[in-house]
Chain A
Amino acid sequence: MKDQRTPLVEMKNISISFGGIHAVDNASVDLYPGEVVALLGHNGAGKSTLIKILSGAYRRDAGEILINGEAADINNPRDAKKYGIETIYQTLAVADNVDAAANLYLGRELRTPWGTLDDVAMEAKAREVMGRLNPNFQRFKEPVKALSGGQRQSVAIARAILFNARILIMDEPTAALGPQETAQVGELIKQLKREGIGIFLISHDIHDVFDLADRVSVMKNGQVVGHARTEDVTKDEVLGMIIMGKVPAKAIPGPGAMQMA
């Protein structure tokens, strides 16, 4: 049952609390190369918080993170990027007032030999990457504020894949999108998966992610209810995990599993 390879990411016994509230309590999840793991749960179940620890936005109180089997020291977003972890946030963390190329390279700008910004080279690369993701995209000179939700989403995704991410975290990647754009994102996830990138998909809506994911990990009240392969369980069973914490037979229960009488 257990995969013999070294996991790409292993988060072990992670805990974090804010002002006495255990947002994440002793949670463990893992991710293998070329695998899509959906992290499911209600709003406030702790999934976004858990993943923000991996992406360096929050610092954990306890637990450890292993990347390729080695302990990783992640204290801020820059550390996470060093390990090849890229995050696409639910709020689409883009700077509205600068253009697409500037956003793609934010924090990692290309520079000329004189130390100035190489805007032309960045725009060229941006055109190339965006051309692959969203061939219709033409508005390179305008601030991101002027773009539609889907276009902003493609900018956020392009930014993540531009730097050869090995681990991609997508928080509600399709929440702001129309059906056509959602399908595009789905295609993109499959493509990235073929390239051997490990992907965490975070969602409160099981329908968004069930068909894309290889495994699901369900959280409830800050604890992990259980893990399951999507081929072993039905959507209804996963819904039971999300809502009641009831773990089906073929899933591996976690600390948050409902205690059977």
Chain B
Amino acid sequence: MADITQGNQTQGAQASRARMADENPVKRFFRATEIDTRLLGMVGALVIIWLGFQVMTGGLFLTPRNLWNLTVQTSSVAVMATGMVLIIVTRNIDLSVGSVLGFCGMTMGVLQAQVLPQYLGLGHPAIWAITLACGIAVGAAIGGLQGSIVAFLNVPAFIVTLGGLLVWRGATWFVTSGQTVAPMDATFRLMGGGTEGSIGATASWIVGALACIAIVGAILNSRKQRKRFGFPLRPVWAEYFLAILGCVLVLGAVFVANHYYWPTNIARKYADANGIAWPDGGLQISHGIAIPVLIAVAVGIVMTFIATRLRFGRYVFALGGNPEAAELAGIKTRWVTVKIFTLMGVLCAIAAAISTARLNAATNAQGELDELYTIAAAVIGGTSLAGGVGTIAGAMIGALVMQSLQSGMVLLGIDSPFQRIVVGVVLVVAVWLDTVYRARAK
């Protein structure tokens, strides 16, 4: 097949039509729907992992409860992985994200638990917003500083962020002399999920419906745009297929989230507090989508938009593909680098908000080893360390793969040292498989 494709390369449209006719139905299907086969392979791997754990745990893995927890646990690393994609695409690396998460988390913890209550009073409704804004500002400043050192002082990112790994972890300790800060502000805590931090059944269905409308709208819009300029269109059946697939996935996720009900004791407390009579079968209140998951999905959408629809994203990929060409094309490559690291800092702060809110405490060990999980998620998600290649969605699925492995092994009762061994081996095998895939795709 490889020879045939190469032979046809130069002969333009005619040959490409001929090539379409030559293809078997599977290939034609992928060409028509423009589904990224790499991404599909990863989703396939995820499904295999899920089914494997489902069998091994005797049906404990694919339950609404476990899937719901899995997505909540993934959100913090998933948020950071979206930024790590851009960093790695430009041939840099960021080893400091775990420590930056720790420092931002500690800053936000001290701010909301010790500083702000003095001025605003405990439980003031603005505390969470001020805290989050300050945390993001701190993250952006740290990222901007590291990015500037990389871009303007020409110190390799590996070294700058290796230094950052130590510096910000040390700074985290320094803030409270190593003490844990708790509890967090009640509103802030919603960002961590839990029964309170979920949006309930009705709101989840509304979010799902809006997402379906957005999917259909995006497909219609892209078709209209391509028609306007007379470009080749996808076959109509492919458009329908994509729209239906997207909607089914979204609504399926909402369905699962809505089938995870509040624990009995919390539901009973809620019933008592609101004067609801306790029914015989127990009160079934849906969790719905967790707020941290919503945050992660929103971050994923925004980052995908930045990476594919904005000039900045285009520059990031051009810079990763050929730094010299980008420079000669008049791109301010240094500023692009600073912006990428700043963005990474902001994402670390958001991840820090999620993880401190979830833990209901800021500790000085928060985010330890997260840099490695984040890099692993990006790389498993198809980001090439050679630069120039990577997708946000892939990295987020990569984060889900990593978390699925861990959470499945916890369910199986595997010892923690052995968990790390498995995660390490999977990372290497995944990247090796990807290398094989890429070599064959050429």
Interface, chain A (partner B; CB < 8 A):
55, 57, 76-78, 81, 87, 89, 91, 93-98, 102, 106-109, 111, 115-117, 120-121, 123-124, 136-139, 143, 146, 148, 151
Contact = CB atoms under 8 A, between A and B. Distances in A.
24 contacts: A55-B328, A81-B330, A87-B328, A89-B328, A93-B328, A95-B388, A96-B321, A97-B317, A97-B318, A97-B389, A98-B314, A106-B326, A107-B330, A108-B330, A109-B311, A115-B310, A116-B305, A117-B308, A120-B226, A120-B229, A124-B229, A136-B10, A136-B11, A136-B12
A136 B8 CA distance: 12
A76 B329 CA distance: 10
Contacts of A143: 321
Contacts of B330: 76-78, 81, 107-108
A77 B310 contact: no
Contacts of B345: none
B272 interface: no
Contacts, number: 90
Interface in B11-25: 11-13, 16
Given A77-B327, A107-B329, A120 B322 contact: no
A76 B325 CA distance: 13
Given A95-B317, A106-B331, A138-B16, A111 B322 contact: no
Contacts of A102: 314, 318
Contacts of B321: 95-98, 143
Contacts of A55: 328
Interface string B274-314: 00000000000000000000000000000001001111001
Given A117-B310, A123-B231, 18 more contacts: A77-B329, A93-B328, A95-B317, A95-B321, A96-B322, A97-B317, A106-B326, A106-B329, A107-B329, A107-B331, A108-B330, A109-B311, A109-B314, A116-B305, A116-B310, A120-B226, A120-B229, A136-B10
Nearest to B229: A124
A151 B11 CA distance: 12
B225 interface: yes
Nearest to A94: B325
A97 B229 contact: no
A58 to B, nearest CB: 11
**What 8 pairs between A and B have smallest CB-CB spacing?**
A97-B321, A97-B388, A93-B325, A107-B329, A95-B321, A95-B318, A78-B330, A107-B330
Interface of B: 9-13, 16, 225-226, 228-229, 231, 305, 308-311, 314, 317-322, 324-331, 388-389
B326 A95 contact: yes
Nearest to B326: A95
A28 B330 CA distance: 26
Contact of A93 (B16, B317, B324, B389): B324
Contacts of A87: 328
B1 to A, nearest CB: 15
Contacts of B317: 95, 97-98
A116 B309 contact: yes
A95 B310 contact: no
Nearest to B10: A148
Interface SS, A side: loop
Contact of A94 (B9, B226, B310, B322): B322
B401 to A, nearest CB: 24
Contact of A117 (B13, B225, B311, B326): B311
Nearest to B388: A97
B328 A123 contact: no
Interface centre among A81, A94, A97, A136 (most CB of B within 10 A): A97
Nearest to B311: A109
A95 B330 CA distance: 13
Contacts of A96: 321-322, 388
Nearest to B16: A138
Contacts of B324: 91, 93
Nearest to B324: A93
Given A106-B318, A136-B12, A95 B228 contact: no
Nearest to A92: B325
Contacts of A93: 322, 324-325, 328-329
Given A98-B321, A148-B9, A57 B328 contact: yes
B22 to A, nearest CB: 17
A95 B320 CA distance: 8
Contacts of A109: 311, 314
Given A106-B318, A106-B331, A138 B325 contact: no
Contacts of A138: 12-13, 16
A109 B229 CA distance: 18
A44 to B, nearest CB: 20
B12 A137 contact: yes
Contacts of A116: 305, 309-310
A108 B328 CA distance: 12
B322 A117 contact: no
A224 B12 CA distance: 45
